[in-house]
Copies of this chain bind each other. A is one copy, B any other.
Amino acid sequence: MTEKVIYEGPIFTLVKEDVTIKNKVYQRDIIHHPGGVGILCMIDHKILLVKQVRQAIDLETIEIPAGKLEYGEDPLECGMRELNEETGYACSSMRLIQSFYTTPGFCDEKLWIYEAIDPIEAKEHLPQDEDEDLHSFWLPLEEAYSKVLNQEITDAKTIIAILYAVAARRE
């Protein structure tokens, strides 16, 4: 497999690769991304969410707390840190409920979704990244599910976390 780096940035790297399909060689543009972590954090049937403006889509989104991995970083540790940075909440442990690829047609970004076990307000609140402007809030799970169905929540990882929580409660 031949791989040629086209662009290396702070978040992802763009490469061009040769691939062989049915004995013919094609080129594919591929984004290498270190992956990330999202956190399903619930207390009393309410889910913790964050609002932020996403530059790529020029919209304010509602998402679960989440963050990018550093290469080689443990997803669980990343999840603990991001939960505190983005919301001021902490937990003693987390349980992996899902890992998946956001868009495997051209990108290797993998996301891990953890459920925070017994979340509480953190004694020490880590500062937000200075290039982020987030606002966290709690929403009853059924309202969050309604926002998935009526397209107010349009972020893939957040939809997966909410549908997972709803399906789990109905089992």
Contact = CB atoms under 8 A, between A and B. Distances in A.
A56 B68 contact: no
A36, A57, A106, A157, most chain B CB atoms within 10 A = A106
A96 B167 CA distance: 21
Contact of A167 (B7, B155, B157, B170): B170
What is the oligomeric copy number?
A: 2
Nearest to A129: B21
Nearest to A128: B22
Interface in A1-45: 6-7, 9-12, 14, 17, 19, 21-22, 24, 26, 28-31, 33, 36
Interface of A: 6-7, 9-12, 14, 17, 19, 21-22, 24, 26, 28-31, 33, 36, 54-57, 59, 61, 63, 68, 98-111, 130-133, 148, 151, 154-157, 159-160, 163-164, 166-167, 170
25 contacts: A17-B55, A28-B55, A30-B56, A36-B105, A54-B105, A56-B106, A56-B108, A57-B101, A57-B104, A61-B101, A63-B104, A68-B105, A99-B151, A100-B156, A101-B156, A102-B156, A103-B109, A104-B155, A107-B107, A111-B156, A156-B157, A160-B160, A163-B163, A167-B170, A170-B170
